Amino acid sequence: MLWYHDHANHVTRLNVFAGLAGIWLIRDKEEARLDLPDGDFELPLVIQDRNLDIEAGSFTGKLLHKTEANGGPAEFFGPYTLVNGKIWPKAVIEPRLYRFRVLNGSNARTYRLMLLDDQGNSQHGSIWQIGCDQNLMQNKAEFPMGGLIVAPGERVDLLVDFSSFPSQSLHLWNTAEAPFSNATPISVNPSAELAALINDPFAGNTMDADRRPSPQIMRFDVEPMVSRIPHQLPADPLLSARPAANLSANMQIRLMALVKKPPITPAGTAMLVFWEYVRVASEPAPLGVDIINFTYAHSATGLPVTEAFWKAVEEFYDRINWKIHLGDVEQWYIVNVSPDTHPIHVRLVDMNVSQASKFDVYVNGDTTPLQPDTANGETTPVINGNVDPITNQRLQKITTLVATTDVSIPDDHRP
């Protein structure tokens, strides 16, 4: 399952918000042999949040794109959740196995999906994940008991068994706050929220601080079966064995850092930028650029390596430095030194998450790593990415990065 969207610089958010985005499905013989639910039993679910303008207490039909100012996040979070262009729709389905092809097509909102019965009880034992962004998975993965996190641009391929719910309704629910922190889940009581909604169709979530005024996404009404013999849950493995990636000690290494640039003036807006780096060994550093030493565990050898990199890109109009050769295998390291949890999707290449680590970040030549500002609720070091207007020097220049503690990777994110 792939997706497309307009990507005109500086108006991407508006064009996607206006509807210039969609999905398409690519099939092959290996998928066909699994006999997965198809036709009316394979449902594409494009989930997006939107806002509508109101005049004199009534909707005008016009889209409304509002973001926070005065130092707040620049992201958009709409109060209404759409599935395939409809607000809070319902689907009449049969008590049988279905395949859901889910895309989070929102501009910035991350969802934590749950499936609830009419009493608000989780029914996650009836769901399996069989695919992610690029392909089917090697084996089925159980649906997380705390809900499935789906970031903007992310796709998930799900099998849902409704056979145990004849003549019942089930509800797709969102329990993720916005902006999404990926920290301890917010205090959510889906049972109470659903009971209030069933009693009053206009009832919503009163915890406005989590920007989730309407947690409902859509409803499934299970009616008697009228179709042919239902599909069966496929056995593992779903895919035949794939050849291992050709990891080499001489493979290309890429480094990028996600950095928050705070507002320069009190009325400004914070911005997130990517700093892309080039290995000094691949191309000598020009005069005056930022150079850092990066220590990481090489994926091919497992040994620690320290290399010098120079910062080549910050804004979209900077030159293109990364040219990937067809058929090559590369290792990319993406370091988040911002306070945001931010999704990453890469175009025109296949990507698997093979490593995850915590990092020590050293700035301005310091000999001790930067510490998080716990007074402001930060849990990781955050870089001030601005330039001092008087000295024209970067306020916090990264001089050293060291990968430290390994972090486990969930099964549904592994190759």
pLDDT of residue 6: 86
**Averaged over 219-223, what is the pLDDT?**
96
Q: Which residues of 175-189 are buried (b: 16+ CB within 10 A; e: fewer)?
A: bbbbbbbeeeeeebe
**Domains of the chain from N-terminus onward:** 2-222 (2.60.40.420), 252-413 (no CATH)
pLDDT digits (tens, 9 = 90+) for 145-174: 889 999 999 999 999 999 999 999 999 999
Task: Give the H or E element holding residue 16.
Answer: helix 12-17
pLDDT of 221 > 70? The answer is: yes
Neighbours of 253 (CB within 10 A): 20
pLDDT of residue 70: 61
String of DSSP letters for 62-129: EE---B--TTS---B--SEEEETTEES-EEEE-SSEEEEEEEE--SS--EEEEEE-TT--B-GGGEEE
Q: How far apart are CA 146 and CA 115, in angstroms?
A: 11
pLDDT digits (tens, 9 = 90+) for 128-139: 999 988 789 989
Return the bridge partners of 254, or none: 332
Q: Which residues of 129-167 are buried (b: 16+ CB within 10 A; e: fewer)?
A: bbbbbebbbbebbebbeebbbbbbbbbbbbbbbbeebee
Q: How far apart are CA 170 and CA 157, in angstroms?
A: 19
pLDDT digits (tens, 9 = 90+) for 367-391: 999 998 888 777 788 888 888 888 8
- Please classify residue 76 by burial: count the beta carbons closer than 10 Å to its beta carbon, then call 0-12 exposed, 13-18 middle and 19+ buried: buried
Average pLDDT over the chain, rounded to whole?
88
Cis amide prior to 372 (ω within 30 degrees) = no
Q: Are strands 90-93 and 155-161 parallel, antiparallel or unpaired?
A: unpaired
**Averaged over 180-199, what is the pLDDT?**
79
pLDDT of residue 415: 44
Angle at 337 between CA 301 and CA 380, to 5 degrees: 100
pLDDT of residue 183: 63
Return the bridge partners of 115, or none: 172
More confident call, 142 vs 299: 142
Cα Rg of the chain, angstroms: 23
